[in-house]
Structure 1
Amino acid sequence: MNWAEPYGPPVETRVRVLTWNVWGEYGPYAERARRIGKVVHEHAPDVVLLQEWAGQALGYEHAAAASGTLPCAVLSRWPVTRQEERQLPGGRMPGTALFCELAGPRGPLQVFSVIIGSFRLDESEVRQAQVRALTAFVAETASRRHPALVCGDFNAPPDSDEIRMLTGRSAPPTPGLVFYDAWEVAGDGGPGHTWSNANPWARPGLYPDRRFDYVLSAW
């Protein structure tokens, strides 16, 4: 067996994934809903992972959802063969994680739609606790034999302790479970801000532009 390629020769497969915290029905929702639908239609992702989901189906045949204060959803071109949800304890607002196994064209694709509940800048410790609960959930539900994607709103920038725990820049909370950051690996080289003051609905929060949302692939 070739130690460098224990899986055999690579076969190129492309999956287009979109993750989006759609902020429920807050603000000018009718206009926001129209724009959300337009963006999804234009980019035509295979899998859409939504946080603070408000019931949007967006034309996808297959869907799964996790309820609660911070609901999450997975919309897919491919059937959902297994699903499970988990609350991520810690702080005043628990996070939510929804796991779905999809019947992809080359075999099972495992995806997690995630929102970390704490958004305050001074609550890194709370987010770290929720990340620990998340990685335990991933290890418990996902098979290492098939691709796994963890996508969502972590309310933390890439250099934060909570994200460094996931990307191998500090000790991982679940030994052996480390993720690649898709924007870092394959982005356009820009900052990739997902909280942007160019968004008039975000601007009143008075936060600086940051990247809080991620597509992470398990290594």
Structure 2
Amino acid sequence: MLGRNTRWVAGALALVCLLLIGPGAPRDDLPVAAPLPAGAATEIVPNRVMTWNICNPCRGAGRNLGRAADIATYAPQVVGLQEACVRDVEQIKNDLEHVYGLVYHVTYGSVLRNWSRCGGLPWRAGGYGQAILSAAPATDGVTVEYPDGGSEDRGFLAVTTEVAGRPVRVFNTHLAERRQEAVRARQVPVLAKEVARHDRAIVLGDFNAVPDSPELRPMWPLATDADPRCGPSAGGVCEPTTDWQSRFDYVFLRGIEPRAHRVRPSEHSDHHMYYADLAPL
């Protein structure tokens, strides 16, 4: 039987390991990836953009490899991720390249450092917020934190990248939590002001609000959702994008026309993947 001092040392070593690795550190080193489903993309699809709240904290063995497989199945040219830990996105990007042969550039838009979500040392917690994966290089990256994030810091990331051979400004945001309507009403005008500065823009994100919510009103005059049936009218037909059957996730398009859109659930998140195929710019 271990003595008291030995048990204390063992416990201390275990705690140090936890602090160094962190609860959000990748543990997905699976040797073999599951094959992609029939009909999956074989290379990055031009003109396709996706938004996806990847859910954090969500646990489960192989979650990042599974997330990479989900993205690889549809292989968008641009992917906006929310609730993204830098460590998780690094592994997703690595798996996309080395397991599925899809090479992306990544831009991070972390708005806070959170040990409980993203791991790391308590005084050097992992970055948490938004990330954009883009097949073409991204430039002029800007991260804006909303003046009031509500119960958690929130913001948006904006980059300029190439879609269909032409530059376009891409925004990726995550608004305040579901029951914080008044906070979101103060956040949307901050985002809308920046979107209005661009003739062509793609706005991806989890807005935590259904289409006819008052707080989304500043967005609709500027851009339309990739689903032409979905709009601010209460009679609009908007496919749910969450496990609780709410439409919270959007692909807003300004100066760009959609050709098709799809919503696809994932076992790795409580939000569905929502992607759109765009008309040539």
How does the TM-score come out when normalised to structure 1? 0.73
Please say if 1:193 is aligned against 2:240.
yes
Q: After superposition, where does 1:74-85 map in structure 2 within 5 Å?
A: 74-85=132-143
User: Which whole-Å CA distance do the structure 2 matches of 1:184 and 1:113 have between them?
Assistant: 20
User: Which whole-Å CA distance do the structure 2 matches of 1:93 and 1:215 have between them?
Assistant: 23
Q: 1 or 2 for the larger relative contact order (CA 8 Å, sep ≥6)?
A: 2
Tell me, which stretches of 5 or more residues in structure 1 are unaligned?
Answer: 1-13, 169-177, 198-208
Q: Which amino acid aligns with 2:168?
A: L
Q: After superposition, where does 1:50-69 map in structure 2 within 5 Å?
A: 50-54=81-85, 55=89, 56-57=92-93, 58-59=96-97, 60-69=103-112
Conserved 8 A contact 1:86-1:137: no
Q: Who is 1:174 aligned against?
A: none
Please say if 1:109 is aligned against 2:168.
yes
Shift of 1:98: 0.4
Please say if 1:93 is aligned against 2:152.
yes
Q: Who is 1:181 aligned against?
A: 225
| 1:39 pairs with one of 43, 63, 70 | 70
Please say if 1:158 is aligned against 2:211.
yes
User: Which whole-Å CA distance do the structure 1 matches of 2:107 and 2:137 have between them?
Assistant: 10
User: Which whole-Å CA distance do the structure 2 matches of 1:115 and 1:30 have between them?
Assistant: 26
Tell me, which stretches of 5 or more residues in structure 2 are unaligned?
Answer: 1-45, 98-102, 113-127, 231-235, 256-281
Q: Which amino acid aligns with 2:76?
A: P
User: Which whole-Å CA distance do the structure 2 matches of 1:31 and 1:155 have between them?
Assistant: 27
User: Which whole-Å CA distance do the structure 2 matches of 1:143 and 1:136 have between them?
Assistant: 10
SS at match of 2:219: helix
Conserved 8 A contact 1:82-1:100: yes
SS at match of 2:195: helix
Q: After superposition, where does 1:113-128 map in structure 2 within 5 Å?
A: 113-120=172-179, 123-128=180-185
User: Which whole-Å CA distance do the structure 2 matches of 1:27 and 1:143 have between them?
Assistant: 35
User: Which whole-Å CA distance do the structure 1 matches of 2:153 and 2:215 have between them?
Assistant: 15
Q: Which amino acid aligns with 2:136?
A: W
Shift of 1:36: 1.5
How many residue pairs align between the two structures?
Answer: 178
User: Which whole-Å CA distance do the structure 2 matches of 1:114 and 1:124 have between them?
Assistant: 16
Conserved 8 A contact 1:156-1:163: yes
CA RMSD of aligned residues (A): 2.3
Q: Which amino acid aligns with 1:87?
A: E
SS at match of 2:205: strand
Q: Who is 2:269 aligned against?
A: none
| 2:80 pairs with one of 49, 60, 65 | 49
User: Which whole-Å CA distance do the structure 2 matches of 1:190 and 1:34 have between them?
Assistant: 33
Conserved 8 A contact 1:96-1:117: no
Greater shift in the superposed pair: 148-157 or 101-110: 101-110
User: Which whole-Å CA distance do the structure 2 matches of 1:19 and 1:87 have between them?
Assistant: 19
Deviations 1:93-138 (A, max 9, x none): 3321000101344321210011002322xx2121110101111233
Q: Which amino acid aligns with 2:254?
A: A
Q: Who is 2:198 aligned against?
A: 143
SS at match of 1:41: helix
Conserved 8 A contact 2:173-2:204: yes
Conserved 8 A contact 1:94-1:118: no
Greater shift in the superposed pair: 107-116 or 88-97: 88-97
Deviations 1:37-82 (A, max 9, x none): 1211111101011011122323333110111235101101111122
Shift of 1:185: 4.8
